[in-house]
Amino acid sequence: MNKILFFNPRSAKYKPRIPNSILSVAGAVEGLYDYAIVDGNLETDPAEKIFKYLKTGQFKYFGCTCMPGPQLKEAIPISKRIREEFPGIKIIWGGYFPSNQSKVVLDSGFVDFIINGPGEKSFPLLLNALEQNAPHQNISNLIFKEVNTVIKTKRDELYDMDALPSLPYEKLNMFYPLQRYLGKTYLGTKTIAYHSSMGCPFTCSFCVVVSIYNARWKGKSAAGIYKDIKHLRDVYGGNAIEFHDNNFFVSEKRTVEFARLIKPENMIWWGEGRIDTINKYSDESLAIMREAGCKMIFFGAETGNDAVLKKMDKGGTQSGKQIREFAARMAKFDIIPEYSFVLGIPGDTEEEVMQQIDEDIAFIKEIKQINPNTEIIIYVYSPVPTEGSDMYNKVLASGFHFPEKLEDWISPHWENFDLRKNPLTPWLTAEMIDKIKNFEVVLNGYYPTVSDIRMSRLKRKLMHTVSGIRYKTSFYWKPYELKLLQRLWKYRQPEIEGF
């Protein structure tokens, strides 16, 4: 038997979302290969379920998706155990982690193939080759090992998204009721996770998308997106949308067309975009988007310092001035800008790094003054292998290196690395990390995120009052009282948990 077992490992502190990564490749083999899906987010013991499937003897392929962080905690031990107990099963990983950390993944000895970037074409081709004992060396978007050498095959051009197979929602529904994926969020009571484009046209040196898509972007048509959303609304009752694209708003025309189509459905939607791109949108476009339910947009603001933006290869026209003005412009249209900042990037001296952190903190406070509704997300810079960029060269020069053994990624030391909260980067001192984290606690106290739907008005008010003196006097040291409140009330952080 040649069935595929797909696995979506659990993301810690999750709210289950439609597993688009797995569904995209499942859709591509629909009708060609039979498959089952195990979603770690909806299982108490996914390993048990996986081995129950494998023991039937029907499965020949194990396809696992993986991003850094908590998903590795299941992906690694489960794949390893499969290799030990079922050595005949081919193990194939896809997703951002294996694409970017291919050597360490393949060196583990328990992953046979990595799908490098989009898998809709390469995955079925790989299976066909394996089934027919035919060569796989010419299949694009693949990484594998041959006599101890890691081979990366050529990359396909980005696909016409409208021509790709539709996602097999009905099939997913046979394994897990799709309703369970439509969670209650700030956006709505049944939130759909949808992915409508591939890549991003920019080359920011801190962003992992660059090494996979190399400044390319392609989007599904507005009509195609609408058709899928309408289906999920009519059949499963979805009433809000979280767009998971790296950059949903690249094309103003597509956004406006989609807004016009979705408006009568009365759905709230959210996506990620660039400040300089959306700043070019006309007032009319922004007004239509808001009327059509676009309530909040996530933007990588990164920093208000133009020289640092340049160092990060942010590209485009983004500047500190533009970030400020744009926050005010969004307020006019009643769209909440969710600004993310990257603090703690490498500098030449310790003083320089600290000074930049202080400057970024001051800038964030300024943004809050301009538009208090701006949501702030703070990340600590975690290097990604953007080979050739000046910033990554600096990272390497500092002595930083990624783990050399796959299992080290789940050691307590590395576990939180990609959560972008406490990276193990040599240029950051404990004092710097404390400063960033303490500021974040005070900021979240003074301005609790609107996306935490469980937090009552009264609790918000209380947190705001308690943190007032600290926030106003910039006294962030040891904010234990706020930490206690946040723990007590299970304050949630959208940067880790999504909405």
Binding site for ligand B12 (CB under 6 A): 8, 11-14, 17, 19-21, 24-25, 41, 63-65, 67-71, 92, 94-97, 100, 115, 117-120, 123, 195, 208-209, 244-246, 384, 418-420, 495-496, 498
Q: How far is the CB of 232 from ligand B12 (least distance, A)?
A: 15
Q: How far is the CB of 439 from ligand B12 (least distance, A)?
A: 18
Sign of the four-CA dihedral 191, 192, 196, 198:
positive
Q: Which is nearer to ligand B12, 191 or 467 (CB)?
A: 191
118 neighbors 141 (Cβ within 8 angstroms):
yes
Residue 444 CA to residue 464 CA, distance in Å, equals: 9
Q: How far is the CB of 67 from ligand B12 (least distance, A)?
A: 4
Helix, strand, coil share of the chain (percent; to 5):
45, 15, 40
Q: Which is nearer to ligand B12, 190 or 329 (CB)?
A: 190
Residue nearest to ligand B12 (CB): 94
Q: Which is nearer to ligand B12, 386 or 438 (CB)?
A: 386
Of 44, 45, 8, 40, the residue nearest 23 (C-alpha): 8
**Please, what is the Cα angle at 457 between 456 and 460, to 5 degrees?**
90
Q: Which is nearer to ligand B12, 181 or 446 (CB)?
A: 181
* Rounded CA Rg of the chain: 23
Report strand pairing: 59-65 vs 217-219.
unpaired
Q: How far is the CB of 69 from ligand B12 (least distance, A)?
A: 3
Residue carrying the six token digits 């074409």? 121
Q: Which is nearer to ligand B12, 25 or 82 (CB)?
A: 25
Residue 499 CA to residue 493 CA, distance in Å, equals: 8
Q: How far is the CB of 120 from ligand B12 (least distance, A)?
A: 5
Q: How far is CA 2 from the centre of its chain?
A: 32
**Who's near 455: CB < 8 A, 6+ residues apart?**
448, 489, 491
248 neighbors 229 (Cβ within 8 angstroms):
no
Of 282, 388, 390, 298, the residue nearest 335 (C-alpha): 298
Q: Which is nearer to ligand B12, 110 or 123 (CB)?
A: 123
Q: How far is the CB of 113 from ligand B12 (least distance, A)?
A: 8
Q: Which is nearer to ligand B12, 46 or 498 (CB)?
A: 498
Q: How far is the CB of 495 from ligand B12 (least distance, A)?
A: 5
Q: How far is the CB of 230 from ligand B12 (least distance, A)?
A: 20
Q: How far is the CB of 157 from ligand B12 (least distance, A)?
A: 13
Q: Which is nearer to ligand B12, 18 or 288 (CB)?
A: 18
Q: Which is nearer to ligand B12, 71 or 486 (CB)?
A: 71
207 neighbors 384 (Cβ within 8 angstroms):
yes
| Angle of the 480-488 helix axis to the 430-446 helix axis, nearest 10 | 60
Q: How far is the CB of 377 from ligand B12 (least distance, A)?
A: 9
Of 129, 144, 113, 100, the residue nearest 32 (C-alpha): 129
**Token pair belonging to 124:** 């079925």
Q: Which is nearer to ligand B12, 217 or 439 (CB)?
A: 217
Q: Which is nearer to ligand B12, 68 or 346 (CB)?
A: 68
**Token pair belonging to 382:** 């975690």
Count the alpha carbons within 13 Å of 420 in the hemisphere toward its beta carbon. 22
**Token pair belonging to 318:** 């983004």
HEC profile of 50-81: HHHHHHCCCEEEEEEECCCCCHHHHHHHHHHH
93 neighbors 143 (Cβ within 8 angstroms):
no
Q: Which is nearer to ligand B12, 188 or 467 (CB)?
A: 188
Q: How far is the CB of 429 from ligand B12 (least distance, A)?
A: 22
Residue 496 CA to residue 499 CA, distance in Å, equals: 9
Q: How far is the CB of 355 from ligand B12 (least distance, A)?
A: 26
495 neighbors 378 (Cβ within 8 angstroms):
yes
